Chains A and B, each alone.
Chain A
Amino acid sequence: MCLGIPGRVVEIEKNVAKVDVGGFLRDISLDLCPDVSIGEYVLIHTGFAIQKVDEKEAEETLDLLIKMAKGI
């Protein structure tokens, strides 16, 4: 029920964005996450963007995981 899928914002018109989810374009409401720009990623839940996905944080998490996995 609490599924959230990341997608990239490709177009914004008022409070609706066209979001690319794995190659499919979907209309997503920005009522809960209005401060997004084209090219940014959002987390989608039941047709709403509920949060931005922070690329920098994602990279930092991955870097940390790689270091941990290598035992550094």
Chain B
Amino acid sequence: MGGFGRNDMKFIDEFRNKEIAEGLIQKIQKTSTRPIQLMEVCGTHTVSIFRYGIRGILPEQIKLISGPGCPVCVTPNGDIDLAIALSRQKDLIIATFGDMMRVPGSTSSLQKEKAEGRDIRIIYSSLEALKIAKEHPQKKVVFLAIGFETTSPTIAVAILRAKEENLHNLFFLNSQKRVPPALIALLQSKQVKIDGFILPGHVSTIIGTNPYQFIAKDFGRPAVITGFEPLDILQGIWMLLKQIEENRAAVEIQYRRAVHEEGNPIALRKIEEVFEKDEGRWRGIGLIPDSGYRFKESYKEMDARNFEVEVEPPKEHPECLCGEVLQGIKNPPECCLFKKVCHPENPIGPCMVSIEGTCHTYFKYQ
């Protein structure tokens, strides 16, 4: 195989077909009879929806609102501050996904700390943290473990391997989140009218359909697990619309090529081996029961929260609306900082930092 990439991508290109998209849009227009509001939970969906101009081609009465599905964005300030405090420790290396670098903490960011000379390394996979720890046995390595259920099993694998290999210098600052409990919180808060959910395709490859059943059963709302290409999203919207028009509420799968009812049992077992459910703190939303993980007893020695470091009290910019944006209560243009003070070069809140943050997506495409 040569070093040059091809442009054609199986399972991607065919789901971008313009003629089929046009047919689907007509179908959606014909089926839609009443004003509805659908939430796309996942930040990757938000990016696709804006990139392909899907909001603009839907009938006016179908409104899409963006949800809290950006792990970087929902990471609370306190955790960023803790990561910054840890990075200032002697003989300690921070390993992090790139998106976290520029997220502003209360007074600094990892990027600023790196410029000050702290050893902060951007990694692509949890396994690279393992490699760094092996290469630097005299130093402590802390991996910033953020992500939803898509990423959690990959973090669990790194923890299991560290244990197997008797690695004593790798630690995890766990700020992972579970998606379904956040949806319960959104539905219970009633601050936003949500007639149906476009559910995250890749989180669902791991968790399957079961953890979402409450959406239909307890709240009577339809939900469709949807893929990320434009045809996937249009079909997902159409499936939601059809349920609404037929007065049905069920959890359906559009993204059949990657999602099965049972999810990925092997990945789920890895998570269960290492973690148990715990409350999780979400930026803007606060504590949500069962929406996070804590280490099980036998892995607690890898918890970076055991380090004794002084962390500054968390404070956020008083005018930043990131919390409301994450819940679909406000749109980025309603924030007085948006585009004026807060832009990708000078992000005030994390929703402007992450490439999947709603503010970043609005800035880029609107």
Binding site for B on A (CB under 8 A): 1-4, 6, 8, 10, 20, 22-25, 29, 31-34, 41, 43, 45-48, 50-51, 53-55, 57-58, 60-62, 65-66, 68-71
- Complex contact A3–B202 (CB within 8 A): yes
Quote the shortest CB–CB distance from B144 to chain A (angstroms): 12
Chain B contacts of A51 at CB under 8 A?
A: 205-206, 258-259, 264
A20 to B228, CA, bound (A): 20
B124 touches A53 (CB 8 A): no
| Beta-carbon contacts under 8 Å, B1-60 to A | 1-12, 14-15, 19-24, 26-27, 42-44
A-facing mask of B162-197, CB < 8 A → 1, else 0? 000000000000000000000000000000000000
In the A-B complex, the 8 residue pairs with the smallest Cβ-Cβ separation, listed nearest first, are A69-B23, A47-B125, A23-B6, A58-B257, A23-B5, A51-B205, A57-B256, A2-B150
Q: With an 8 A cutoff between CB atoms, is B154 at the interface?
A: yes
CB A37 to nearest CB in B, in angstroms, measures: 16
Chain B residue nearest to A44 (CB atoms) is B125
User: With A23-B5, A32-B264, A58-B257 in contact, do A1 and B97 touch (Cβ < 8 Å)?
Assistant: yes
With contact pairs A1-B99, A46-B126 given, residues A70 and B23 touching in the complex (Cβ less than 8 Å): yes
- A71 and B264 CA atoms in complex are apart in Å by 35
Residues of chain A within 8 A (CB-CB) of B99 are 1
- Complex: how many Å from CA A24 to CA B8? 12
| Complex partner residue of A71 from B1, B8, B23, B125, CB under 8 angstroms | B23
Q: List 8 A–B pairs whose Cβ atoms lie within 8 Å, in order of A's numbering.
A: A2-B71, A8-B10, A32-B154, A46-B97, A46-B124, A46-B151, A54-B256, A58-B256
Contact assessment for B256 and A2 in the assembled complex, using a CB-CB cutoff below 8 Å: no
B267-A41 in contact (CB<8A): no
B125–A2 CB distance below 8 A: no
C-alpha spacing A30/B20, complex, angstroms: 35
* Count of A-B residue pairs with CB < 8 Å: 151
Q: Which of A55, A65, A70 has the most CB of B within 10 A?
A: A65
Closest to A18 in B: B1
A2/B200 in contact, CB under 8 A: yes
A60 touches B7 (CB 8 A): no
B153 — which chain A residues lie within 8 A by C-beta?
32, 48, 50
Rounded to whole Å, the gap between the CB of A72 and the closest CB of chain B is 10
* Chain B residues closer than 8 Å to A68, beta-carbon distance: 23-24, 27, 235, 238
Known: A1-B97, A23-B2, A50-B205. A45 touches B12 (CB 8 A): no
Report chain B residues within 8 Å CB of A70: 23
In the complex, are the beta carbons of B6 and A53 less than 8 A apart? no
Report if A65-B231 is in contact (Cβ < 8 Å); known contacts: A1-B147, A31-B270, A41-B11: yes
Measured CA separation A25–B150 after assembly (Å):
22
Q: Which residues of B contact A24 (CB under 8 A)?
A: 1, 3, 5
Q: Are B20's CB and A47's CB within 8 A?
A: no
Task: Please provide the chain B residues from 197 to 243 with a CB less than 8 Å away from any CB of chain A in the complex.
Answer: 200-203, 205-206, 228, 231, 235, 238
